[in-house]
Structure 1
Amino acid sequence: MEEFIQEAYSGIFEKELVKEIAETAALIDFEEGDRLIEINDYIRSMPLLLNGAIKIMREDPDEGELLLYFLEKGDTCAMTLACCMGQTRSAIRAIAENKGSVVMIPVTKMEEWLGKYKSWRNYVFESYNKRLGEMLSAIDNLAFMHMDDRLLNYLKEKAKVNNTTVISSTHQEIAYALNTSRVVVSRLLKAFENDGKIKLNRNNIEIIAID
């Protein structure tokens, strides 16, 4: 496991820290659609993503969902960090976007390494800042952006984390992620197709020209 951690976090962690992570962390493999963290779960460990992608969702009072951000290789989840350190329940849902693997760091080690390793301390603080910026962007999208812009951003981010121009999500799944209706998503996707930005196929959406 040590070589996979070193490859994913090369240039980020000291060799001594990589070795400790390999000795103490639990390796978890996941498949697309797996629920890795559920809302109201107590979080006992912090995830470090070795490969694959995970989407972080927030649930609204009407039982809808909203995509906050994606985690990619080398990332961790700031909301999970906060829950670990504060020993509180999770306010987010983490769902595997595609196949991958993650190592889980026990909360006791998280606290110990903050004082022991400068690279770990920098990584934790930078992760907080990065995730905060992404959550502020999600708020801005809701407050200031039209749904067509939000949908375009979603398609671009989805293509990026999956490294493909073909998106297999259904119109209903996209509607859940953007906390809107399937009818609205279908109408906008058809407009994008008419503009030459995408091609709607029977089981997927092909990106052609999205800036």
Structure 2
Amino acid sequence: MLKELKEAYGFIFEEELIREISESGTLKSVREGEVILDINDYITAMPLLLEGAIKILREDNEGNELLLYFLERGDTCALTLSCCLGQTRSEIRAVAEKDTVIIMIPIGKIEDWTAKYKTWRNFVFESYQSRLSEMLQTIDTIAFMHMDQRLLRYLQDKAKINQSEELQVTHQQIAYDLNTSRVVISRILKKLEMDKKIILQRNQIKVLDL
């Protein structure tokens, strides 16, 4: 675990803090599609990503989901952190975008390290700022972008997160993430293919416009 921590966070944290994280944290591996944290779960620990990617979703009263943002290696979830510090239930759902390895940090250590390590404080504040910026971008796409623009941006972000221009994703899954219908997604995907932005293949989408 210590080696993986140094590779993912060595440029952020000092040696002593990385050692404490290694000693206090719990390593967890999750498979693609697995729910790591669900809405209304009590949060007892904060995740640090060592490998893979996680998508963060919100859900309305009718069970419709909306993608807020992705987390990558070297990230944490500021919304989870906020719930940890406030000792409240989760308001988001965290799902593994691909096979992922995380280290879970106990609540007590979060406050201790905030007082003890400047690098940890900076990391926490920067995480809040980054996630807030991403949520504002999500709001902008919903408020100001047409669905074809939202869909193309979603595919581009997903390709970058997965480090592959070929995406294994169904039309229905995209519809869930963007909170729309499969019929609408299929129609717009066809249009994007005609515009040479993507190539539709069997159970796969190749993103050309990255």
| TM-score, structure 2 normalization | 0.99
2:83 paired with 1:83: yes
* CA deviation after TM superposition for structure 1 residue 144, in Å: 1.1
* CA deviation after TM superposition for structure 1 residue 202, in Å: 1.3
1:186 corresponds in structure 2 to 186
Distance 2:161 2:170 in 1: 17
SS where residue 102 of structure 2 aligns?
strand
1:137 corresponds in structure 2 to 137
Distance 2:46 2:15 in 1: 19
1:204 corresponds in structure 2 to 204
Q: Root-mean-square deviation (CA), in Å?
A: 0.7
SS where residue 42 of structure 1 aligns?
coil
Does the CA-based 8 Å contact 2:10-2:18 persist in structure 1? no
Distance 2:207 2:131 in 1: 27
* 1:141-170 residue CA offsets vs partner (Å, 9 max, x unmatched): 111111111001100000001000111110
Does the CA-based 8 Å contact 2:55-2:97 persist in structure 1? yes
SS where residue 46 of structure 2 aligns?
strand
1:117 corresponds in structure 2 to 117
SS where residue 142 of structure 1 aligns?
helix
SS where residue 199 of structure 2 aligns?
strand
1:172 corresponds in structure 2 to 172
1:156 corresponds in structure 2 to 156
SS where residue 173 of structure 1 aligns?
helix
| Aligned residue identity for 2:189 | L
SS where residue 75 of structure 1 aligns?
coil
Gapped runs of 5+ residues in structure 1? Answer: none
* 1:55-109 residue CA offsets vs partner (Å, 9 max, x unmatched): 0000012211000000000000010000000000000000000012000000000
| Aligned residue identity for 1:104 | M
Count the aligned residue pairs.
210
* CA deviation after TM superposition for structure 1 residue 195, in Å: 1.1
Gapped runs of 5+ residues in structure 2? Answer: none
